[in-house]
Amino acid sequence: AVNDTIEKHIPQWPNKTYQEFVKICVNFELSNQAIDSLIHFFNKNANFEESPLLKNSKAIHSFMNSI
């Protein structure tokens, strides 16, 4: 059900990286703390001027509720 929602709303996703990250978080039922840790790790170690991920798990929940 969640994956169907994710697939149907692809045009609304900020970017493909974010979409794939959220799929992983949902499929593995990661806790908010685990999601926040992964985002922090990714942002700290990725060589992007601007992160393709939202700031934290709360932002992910807000985004998911908006689609």
Q: What is the DSSP letter of 50?
A: S
pTM: 0.72
What's the domain range around 44? 2-66
Residue 4 is encoded by which pair of tokens?
């169907």
Looking at per-residue pLDDT, the higher value among 64 and 45 belongs to 45
Domain tally, the chain: 1
Q: Is it the case that residue 6 has pLDDT exceeding 70?
A: no
Whether 5 shows a pLDDT value over 80: the answer reads no
Ordered alpha helix ranges (H), 1-67 = 2-8, 16-27, 32-45, 57-66
Q: In angstroms, how far is CA 31 from the centroid of its own chain?
A: 13
Residues 24-63: tens digit of each pLDDT = 999 999 999 999 999 999 999 998 888 898 889 998 888 8
